[in-house]
Structures are given as structure tokens and as C-alpha cells.
Amino acid sequence: MRVLIQLRPSPDIVAAVAAPDLTATTADVTGELPGVALDHDYTPVPLPRARPAVPGGDPLSLNQPLDFSMAPEEASVLVRGEISDDDRAARMALLPGRGGSVVGVYADPVIETSLTCGGTPPVGTWRDVERLLAVPRLTAEGYDGTGVALAICDTGINAAHVTRQMGRSFTIDADRSWSPSGVSDTPGRYRVDHGSMCAFDALIAAPKASFIDIPVLLSRRQGDTVMDGLLSDAIAAFSHLRTVLDAQPAASRALVVSNSWGSFSPLWDMAPGQPGNYSDNPAHPFNIIVGSLERAGADILFAAGNCGVECKDRRCAFPARPIVGANSHPQVLSIGGVDTKGLRVGYSSQGPGRLTDRKPDICSYTHFAGSKAFGPGTPDSGTSAACPVAAGLVAAVRTRWPASAISPAQLRTLLYRTATDRSTVGFDYDYGYGVADPPALLSALERHADATAKV
């Protein structure tokens, strides 16, 4: 089984891992760990320590204000490796006591793109989505993504294809892009695939955003092992994005992170209730680092997934509550899908979520003719498309409202309150709080500006 190992080495080692200008290897962090095939090509990742912001808080609950500390005395370090399935239980039991530095062993499940069931033609076009998002009004009022960093964590972007299909160019921020070990293509020049679809869909509402290309799903097997696209690469990507965010001036901080992927099967994970579990465990390192990045000022969006009861993806293996792990994190926007007629698509996953009951949060548009990333006539589909459409809207808002003016949590609340209710009154597990409604959101922002000016 592939695992993430959390260690708390000496503070000087933690500091070396966390410092951008220093390098610490897996061997520096771990020494030898008998029974573990360590991946020495994976750069150790620093993990902040989460703790309640107020005395007496629950140390394992994400549903409260949290502080995150990267002080070397408190932070920890993640490495990854593989434990033989033959003696997994014994090795797992022995590792936490190893040298006093191993503090946790966690699942490192495979992550994949969210695809829709095939055969259904597009419902409308991306021009319809542009109209539904009120993009002309957004643009006229200065909401176009200028100065906003928008990270697409996916299979990489082919900028030439996206430009050709959209009919206008856009910015790939190569300097702030990042790729997993072994992925060496140039940002913006990846094969046309799922990531190009996501970039196209985000551009609908945020044509002037700076796109950060994070091909987290492209990592390949190393040597003769079975180490490939894993959650550990997403952890490394989010650690990089923290450095991107920290480098921005605090007053104008604006980073939106779009994630159209998730974990489909409990067989890729440790069982719920085990300390190393990912899908249900708020203390899994990825769930911690997601909360840390949001607290620092990033807007993080995840696709709710394509496990809706009417038309689920064939890989969906959770018998119930398929919105798992970070896709159901309380500090992210979990995005369901509706077509351009405002109707929920059958494959859009329903709540409740596993980390948070009230998921998905809101819905956005999908299943429209757009990027042609999968060929002419094939729609941009799945909550994989709905997520970047919503991310583009959030990036557009950030043009005039950086995180210093409206925190990610406040913006999520505004999106909830202004969404168009599509089902029962208030929240429901099909649509969340409803479909994102840009005109209503802009009106709420205007009221917020007026209220702020009077203070």
C-alpha cells in the first residue's frame, strides 16, 4: 500500500524542509525506515500544525476557527513510500514508534479526473454560460480577473488549443507554475486533455487572470514501483501554492485554486476510523494543508464528483456519501453541476459530505459545448467543468475584492446567500445552496462596499 509518513524530526531539519532556498532530502528527514520503500524522488513537504484558535477547542475538528503554525518546533514533514501488503498491519503498528520521529502514517490514494457518463449531447454552449454568468456586466464593472492568480490543478494546460477555441489569448504564469517530480513539460504546453478543458471553462468569467499550471495528475510511475498520481503530489502542489500566496502583497492577496479531481474508491484508502484514513479524517495531512492554504487567503474549489445516483461514474465505489476527503472540506467550495437550463445533471454527486455534512455547497454550469478538448461535439462535462466555471467567477470577484477585503469564508457565505435556490427552500443535498448567481452576488458586494464605507 502506498502511504504518506508524517515525521517530526529536529527543528533544524524542519526548517531546512520549509525554507525555499534550502534543500532537504527524504534521507535527511527519515534515515532508514525498515519495511518501507521510500520514494527518494519525492521532495519532503512541510506540514503546518493545526490547533484551535480559542482555548478549549476540539483539536481534531475543522468546524471551528483554526491557527496554523509553521514554526520548526511545531511543524512536521511528510515523505511518501510503499509498504508491502503482506505485512502491512505489523509495519503500520511499528512505524509510529520508530526513532520517536514518526507521528503518523496515512493513505496516499490515487486521484483521478472526474468524467461524466457518455452519450449525452451538449446542452447549450459556452456562450450560454457566458450569458448566464453575466460576463458582460462583470467586465463592465471591472471584474475580469486582472491581478488574480488562478491555479488549475489537473493534467496541464495546452494554451495554444485553449486560445484557438476561445478566440483570444490569455496568460500562463510559468514562473509560479509547478509540476510533480518527473513531469518536465513546459507550463502551458501539455497535451490537450482534461486540464485544457478546465482552463477554458475558468476563462469564461476571468479572461484576464494569470493561470498557474499545476499538472498534479500527470505524475508517472517511478522505476519498477507503482508510485504514480497520488495525493502526495497534491500536498506538494498545495505547499508550493502557499509560497505563491505568501509572496503576494498582503493587501492585494488573490489566489483561486480549482481542483476537478477526487478519490473514487474506499479500496484506495485505509478504512474509516483508522488514524491514517483520508476520506473521513480531517486530520489527514492533505486536509490539514487545504485548511492552512485557505486560512492564508486562498479560495479553494473542488468538484463535488460524478457519483450522482441517477448516472454515476462506473468507478464510484463508495456505497453512500461519495463526496469524500477534501472535496467535502469545510473550508472549500464543493461544486455540483447543472446544465444551461439550470437543472442538476444526473451524475453530480449528492451530499451529505464525509468531512462536512452540508455538501455540495453550490452548483455551476456544465455539460456545454466549449473547449473541444475531447473532440468536436463532445461537451465540457462533469463537475469537472462546473468547478472551473465557478473558479472563474470567484477569480473575477477577486479582481476588486482581495482576501484582505473579503476573506475566503466571507466570500463563500456571500455565494451561499445569493445562490438561486433550485429545490427545497434553503440548503439541500442535490443543489447545495443553489446555483451561483453573479448579478445577485454583485449586488451583495455593492451593499457590502456601502456598509464598509459608512464604518
Kindly list the catalytic residues: 154, 194, 384
Q: Is 126 helix (H, G, I), strand (E, B) or coil?
A: helix
Task: Name the residue among 104, 106, 95 with its Cα closest to residue 32.
Answer: 95
CA 321 to chain centre: 19
Report how far apart, in Å, the C-alpha atoms of 76 and of each of 41, 99, 151, 296, 455 are.
19, 15, 25, 18, 42
Q: Is 183 helix (H, G, I), strand (E, B) or coil?
A: coil
Q: Are 408 and 297 in contact (CB under 8 A)?
A: yes
Q: How far apart, in whole angstroms, are the C-alpha atoms of residue 289 and residue 270?
A: 19
Report how far apart, in Å, the C-alpha atoms of 410 and of each of 17, 367, 401, 429 are.
33, 29, 11, 22
Q: Is 168 helix (H, G, I), strand (E, B) or coil?
A: coil
Q: Are 82 and 225 in contact (CB under 8 A)?
A: yes
Residue 80, phi then psi, degrees to nearest 5: -130, 160
Q: Are 299 and 259 in contact (CB under 8 A)?
A: no
Q: Is the peptide bond before 352 cis (omega within 30 degrees of 0)?
A: yes
